[in-house]
Amino acid sequence: MRAFPSTKNEWVALVLFPFKTYVVIILPFYFLFNIFYPQPLTIYLGNNTTVWNQTAEEFLVGFVLCGPLLILGFVIQFFVRDEKAAIRTLMFAIVPFSFFCFFLFIGLIQHML
């Protein structure tokens, strides 16, 4: 058993592991938090000013950081010729990207109303 990776593929997988873990762990915690402490996604303050729920904002900041890094990891793994790992990384990258697009869409709709 080795303590450190020895190939490029293993190093890329080691670097991407915390981001994949964040994507898997944060979703249940976010939804459980919203079940026990329900809050609206956005709060209208008046004068056409809307602010995000603090929990949703922190959730999105993590996803904004994870999404592009996982896509970059996908590209690196694809060009290193580790296609199976690249596809798995792409699956992890789709989740933050889709949630970010969903929240962005909600924010745009709220702003237009």
pLDDT in tens, 97-110: 888 788 778 777 76
51 — phi, psi (to 5°)? Answer: -120, 155
Q: What is the pLDDT of residues 18-54, one digit of tens each?
A: 999 988 888 888 778 778 877 766 666 666 666 667 7
Quick check: 6 pLDDT over 70? Answer: yes
The mean pLDDT of 65-76, rounded to a whole number, is 88
Q: Is the pTM of this model over 0.75?
A: no
Using an 8 Å Cβ cutoff, are 92 and 73 in contact? no
Tokens 């990776």 appear where?
A: 5
Buried b (16+ CB within 10 A) or exposed e, 45-82: eeeeeeebeeebeebbeebeebbebbbebbebbeeeeb
Distance CA 85, CA 43 (A): 41
